[in-house]
Chain A
Amino acid sequence: MRLASFDPLPADEIRVRAALRVASQENINVYTSAIYGTLPRESFYNPEHLARLFQAAEARGAPVAEQALQGRSVASG
């Protein structure tokens, strides 16, 4: 028998969720579709798209730099 806890969210995913707070509805919809399986995961989680997402978020003043997010607790699910 093992003792269990939910995995903490990976740092990259914390960055994604921070960026989504200021993202366009279209971007949020693509994320939602990719997470829930109706679009290929790569339609959202590809390096070029993520780079654009983070860049846009930073331009809007969202704290998506990795060091800014350290220690922040965001639940998975």
Chain B
Amino acid sequence: MSTYDAIVVGARCSGSPTAMLLARQGHRVLLVDRASFPSDTISTHNILHRGLVQLHAWGLYERIAATGCPELNKRTRYDDDFPLTGYAAKSIDGIPSSMCPRRTVLDKILVDAAIQAGAELREGFSVRELLFDGDRVVGLVGTTSGGERHVEHARLVIGADGRNSFIASAVRAPKHREIQPLLCWYYTYWPGVQDLGYAFASRGNRKLIFLPTNDGLTYVQIGWLPSEFGRVRANVETEYRAVLRILAPPIADQLDGVAPAERFYGIADVPNFFRTPYGSGWALVGDAGYHKDPMGAHGISDAVRDAGILADEVHPGIAGEKPMDQALGDYERRRNASAFPLLRAKFAARLL
């Protein structure tokens, strides 16, 4: 029976970097995903400066920049009726304040980097069950898109499979710090408005995020209260344009008479929670371990940060230099120390 050092389930922005970093340390890693790459997914797309710095340290920022994805240094904030436009300097390492690559672009770069590092990739692979030895996770069973069944064993199974994580569900990972959904969102892509740069607008319970991305398109996302989702869905484009007109009239003017380049993508279920991110033989990273509203667009940057922390802590665990439970406990402490301040800064919560 062949045993991997780690199986990473989910090959997007937390899974692929985790696999890449562990493979770079010489560990035997299997990376699986039900998708085949390039592959799109619902996302806010934005990578904050800290995320780009992390990707730069891994040698991946340059690959994203090479796709022609614009640097988002021009930033306009619409507070009430007043647009405030500033130009963020690049940091001394030449990294811009943020970039917003399409997920078809970003995730492919990350997957390729994991393969290049030596991870074994299986696309079109769906995990069906976890294997246990007592309480300890020791592997998984999955099927290929052709229906072929595979049984794989590992010292550690890492769930990087998103907010509805199969791994988290299978190990019954406890949730904590749950906060009700704040908003629901619709987004699409628009041609011809990249010169406006990054924009953000907020008034009451209406939010706008405007992010130039690849292929000359701009990602424009609008948020409403979750209770409004049904009404918005019934007439998306009209509702979307009406809010755009209220929040950012100059943008609405430019998009008048312009057809979106793609359909409208809706996000109704946006929970905010932490999960305990480890147990015996398993760990969670990215949205599987910590999910929040896309407001602020922290998701990808948090995912790559946590991938770095997890790989950093798990390496000595796999290498036998540190007990694995202690390594994973250190991962949780470091993840929480990074993530809790953001949660406190963004949300004011009261008990129901």
Whether B352 pairs with A38 at a CB distance below 8 angstroms is no
A36 to B75, CA, bound (A): 9
B contact face: mostly helix, strand, loop, or mixed: strand
Contacting pair A2 B349 (CB below 8 A): yes
Contact at A36–B49, with CB atoms within 8 Å? yes
Q: Provide the B329-352 mask, 1 if CB < 8 A to any CB of A, else 0.
A: 000000000000000011111111
- Residues of chain B with a CB closer than 8 A to A38's CB: 49, 88-91, 95-97
In the complex, are the beta carbons of B87 and A1 less than 8 A apart? no
Question: Contacts A21-B82, A28-B86, A39-B89 hold; do A6 and B346 have CB atoms under 8 A apart?
Answer: yes
Provide the residues of chain B in CB contact with A21, threshold 8 Å.
82, 84
**In the complex, chain B residues whose CB is within 8 Å of the CB of A25:** 86-87
A29, A76, A77: the one within 8 Å of B88 (CB): A29
Q: Please, which residues of chain B bring their CB within 8 A of the CB of A32?
A: 75, 86-88, 97
Known: A7-B346, A29-B87, A33-B88. A75 touches B203 (CB 8 A): yes
Which A14-31 residues sit within 8 Å CB-CB of chain B? Answer: 17, 20-21, 25, 28-29, 31
CB proximity of B177 to chain A, nearest CB, Å: 8
Would A77 and B296 count as touching, CB distance under 8 A? yes
Give A1 to B182 CA distance when docked, in angstroms.
13
Question: B275 → chain A, closest Cβ, in Å?
Answer: 14
A37 touches B50 (CB 8 A): yes
A5 to B77, CA, bound (A): 20
The answer, yes or no, to whether A3 is at the interface (CB within 8 Å) is yes
Is A69 an interface position by the 8 A CB rule? no
Contact A1-B88, Cβ < 8 Å, known A38-B49, A75-B203, A77-B207:
no
Minimal beta-carbon separation of A47 from chain B (angstroms):
21
Check if A1 sits within 8 Å of B180, measured CB to CB: yes
| B49 partner residues in chain A, CB cutoff 8 A | 36-38
Q: A1-B180, A35-B88 are in contact. List 10 more A-B contacts (CB 8 A).
A: A1-B179, A2-B178, A2-B180, A7-B347, A31-B86, A36-B49, A37-B50, A38-B90, A75-B204, A77-B200
Q: Could you list 6 A-B pairs, sorted by A, with CB under 8 Å?
A: A2-B180, A2-B351, A4-B179, A33-B89, A33-B97, A35-B88
